[in-house]
């Protein structure tokens, strides 16, 4: 399928990771020039090497998406290499044990600064790049922003309080920014989000797989009992929706939050 993306330029934050890494490779295969923004220079460089091996065009840019100054520096570096940006994918985010309740950590004992850090990691990491890159969209009167949210932002996950709160904020921000950009700047600026369901990645493996035995944890069993398709998703299964949402095939879609979760958000438990 030809998505009509050849020659476009995309910034993808968190693209050194599993989900956005797959999106980056899919974009590159479609002829998109990709700027891999990641807090880890090594992860960004490794992803660029994979894209170059596929005959794609990509650059690695070290960036902490929660720091405005670093976002602006990364943007300047991207413009120097590619001249413009047409697509922004906000994929930086994650969770940590310090804000996840467990037998060792009660809700009452979670440190406020840890909560603030995780909410910023999942929320400000979408807001700050949207402010910086969004300026050029406003000037050009066109552009696409795609936020990588989570089903945790639709139905808060037990234990993962700050991650759920951060992703709920991303969903709200997606809808707000979609209206704002369309009304204030151009109806050709679209903002949407994808809400992935449970996937085995570095950020959640500690919850779902026992580090010592390699067996599924009780939490992992509980998760699969709540997914009608009875399996975890694969990062590759996000790609189709991402390509569609950034293409003209979705030209009348803005403010949407689309779950890709094996039916989790449609299941009441009975």
pLDDT tens digits along 229-263:
999 999 999 999 999 999 999 999 999 999 999 99
**223 and 116 fall within a common domain:** no
Angle of CA points 181, 183, 186, to nearest 5°: 60
**44 and 118 fall within a common domain:** yes
**176 and 212 fall within a common domain:** no
Neighbours of 20 (CB within 10 A): 26
Q: Is residue 35 part of a domain?
A: yes
Q: Is residue 237 part of a domain?
A: no
CATH number of the domain enclosing 72: 3.40.50.720
**55 and 153 fall within a common domain:** yes
**147 and 225 fall within a common domain:** no
pLDDT on residue 204: 66
138 beta partners: none
Q: Is residue 165 part of a domain?
A: yes
- The first and second tokens of residue 216, run together, are 């599924």
**31 and 53 fall within a common domain:** yes
- The first and second tokens of residue 104, run together, are 């060792």
Report the distance separating Cα 153 and Cα 155, nearest Å: 6
**46 and 130 fall within a common domain:** yes
Report the distance separating Cα 223 and Cα 151, nearest Å: 12
Q: Is residue 257 part of a domain?
A: no
Q: Is residue 262 part of a domain?
A: no
Split into its structural domains, the chain has a count of 2
Sign of CA dihedral 155, 166, 199, 216: negative
At which residue do the structure tokens 């520096």 appear? 73
Q: Is residue 267 part of a domain?
A: no
**181 and 220 fall within a common domain:** no
3-state DSSP assignment of residue 38: strand
The torsion angles phi and psi of 88, rounded to 5 degrees, stand at -120, 125
**81 and 166 fall within a common domain:** yes
Q: Which domain holds residue 212?
A: 200-232
Q: Is residue 95 part of a domain?
A: yes
Cα–Cα nearest to 26, from 60, 59, 61, 50? 50
Q: Is residue 204 part of a domain?
A: yes
**160 and 226 fall within a common domain:** no
**34 and 46 fall within a common domain:** yes
- Just list the catalytic residues: 163
**207 and 125 fall within a common domain:** no
- Written as tens digits, the pLDDT of the chain (270 aa) is 899 999 999 999 999 999 999 999 999 999 999 999 999 999 999 999 999 999 999 999 999 999 999 999 999 999 999 999 999 999 999 999 999 999 999 999 999 999 999 999 999 999 999 999 999 999 999 999 999 999 999 999 999 999 999 999 999 999 999 999 999 999 999 999 999 999 877 666 667 788 788 888 888 888 889 999 999 999 999 999 999 999 999 999 999 999 999 999 999 988
């Amino acid at each position: 399928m030809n998505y009509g993306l050849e020659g476009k330029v995309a910034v993808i934050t968190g693209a050194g990771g599993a989900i956005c890494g797959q999106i980056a490779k899919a974009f590159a295969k479609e002829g998109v020039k990709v700027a891999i923004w990641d807090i880890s220079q090594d992860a960004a460089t490794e992803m660029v090497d994979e894209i170059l091996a596929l005959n794609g065009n990509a650059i690695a840019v070290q960036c902490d998406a929660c720091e405005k100054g670093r976002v602006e520096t990364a943007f300047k570096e991207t413009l120097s290499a590619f001249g413009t940006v047409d697509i922004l994918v906000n994929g930086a985010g994650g969770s940590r044990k310090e804000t996840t309740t467990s037998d060792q950590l009660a809700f009452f004992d979670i440190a406020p600064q840890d909560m603030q850090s995780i909410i910023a990691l999942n929320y400000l990491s979408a807001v700050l790049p949207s402010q910086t890159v969004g300026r050029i969209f406003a000037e050009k009167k066109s552009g696409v922003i795609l936020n990588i949210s989570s089903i945790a932002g639709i139905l808060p996950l037990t234990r993962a309080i700050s991650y759920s709160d951060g992703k709920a904020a991303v969903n709200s921000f997606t809808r707000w920014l979609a209206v704002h950009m369309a009304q204030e700047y151009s109806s050709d600026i679209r903002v949407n989000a994808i809400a992935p369901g449970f996937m085995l990645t570095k950020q959640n493996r500690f919850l779902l797989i026992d580090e010592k035995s390699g067996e599924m944890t009780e939490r992992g069993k509980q998760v699969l009992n709540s997914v009608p398709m009875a399996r975890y998703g694969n990062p590759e299964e996000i790609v189709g929706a991402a390509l569609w949402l950034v293409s003209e095939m979705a030209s009348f879609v803005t403010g949407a939050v689309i779950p890709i979760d094996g039916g989790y958000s449609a299941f009441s438990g009975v």
